Amino acid sequence: MMTTAIAQPDGSATRAKAASMIEAREVFKTYRLGRVDVPVLRGASLAVGEGECVAVLGASGSGKSTLLHLLGGLDRVDAKPIDVDAANHVTYRGRAIEAMGAGELDRYRRTTVGFVFQFYHLLPELSVLNNVLIAAMVAHGRLGYMRQSSDLRERATDLLDRFGLAHRLKHRPVELSGGERQRVAIARALVNKPELLLADEPTGNLDQTTGASILDAMMSLRAETNQTMVIVTHDPATAARADRVVKLVDGKVATSG
């Protein structure tokens, strides 16, 4: 069981060490389409322990990507949840993301989290290798990048090699298949050795055999660094690799399996 009632919205209270590394506590997220409010998350809670791998299942449109974006600090919970008593915040090591200033939030997004986007978001003008290296450049700042460039190049090349893309380093995304682009996106998310990997359908465009081998590579990297993972997936084989499976239903997280 995860310890609760530790983190305060302002991140100040540290009565006990946070049991979870990343946690969504009764989060609410509503999108506004014209004049219509579309509530997506309605009190969703998920606590993920250090080094744990959790798979998130749920129907299309159930809010899986939305939840992952909130965990990664890419989006914010509703300012005023419908249920005003709800905790409605996301905490990283007991620190509320909503309380982070711009600089802290930026560091969290760039260096703590590695994010695999559902639709990859690769830069079309850059080669495969540079799409991976740019994440390192952004995280280290340009000077850091210059200093460490040979190490980073080696790591980027090694990752792409592990994901079966050694022969595609100089290609542009448009010259790749969907599954190959997906693998570039995974390598990019991992290049900075993030403590927390948030992966949105990382095997969604891969056949079963390729998907399994990419997951093998991800899991062995995870073991090397005790990385914490949240993986959104539709794929039962991918979910089976997680320590725990949860499901998004009616805007809430239900545990299953």
For 12, left (φ over 0), alpha (ψ -120 to 50), or beta? alpha
**40 contributes a contact to ligand ATP by CB under 6 A:** yes
> What is the C-alpha separation between 165 and 83, in angstroms, rounded?
48
Which C-beta is closer to ligand ATP: that of 57 or that of 97?
A: 57
Which C-beta is closer to Mg ion: that of 195 or that of 201?
A: 201
Q: Which of 64, 95, 162, 247 binds ligand ATP (CB under 6 A)?
A: 64
Q: Write each residue from 106 to 125 as x if it is in contact with ligand ATP (CB under 6 A), else as -, in one continuous string.
A: ------------x-------
Collapsed DSSP state (helix, strand, coil) of residue 135: helix
Phi, psi of 39 (to 5 degrees): -75, 130
Partner from Mg ion, ligand ATP, none contacting 60, C-beta within 5 to 8 A by type:
ligand ATP
Closest CA to 172 of 130, 120, 127: 127
| Total residues at interface with ligand ATP (CB under 6 A) | 13
Residues in Cβ contact with 228 at an 8 Å cutoff, skipping those fewer than 6 apart? 21, 22, 48, 49, 50, 51, 52, 53, 195, 196, 197
Question: Residues in the site for Mg ion, rule: CB under 5 A?
Answer: 64-65, 118
Tokens of 12: 């100040």
**61 contributes a contact to ligand ATP by CB under 6 A:** yes
Interface stretch with ligand ATP, choices 30-38, 94-102, 104-112, 169-177 (CB under 6 A):
30-38
Binding site for ligand ATP (CB under 6 A): 31, 33, 38, 40, 58, 60-66, 118
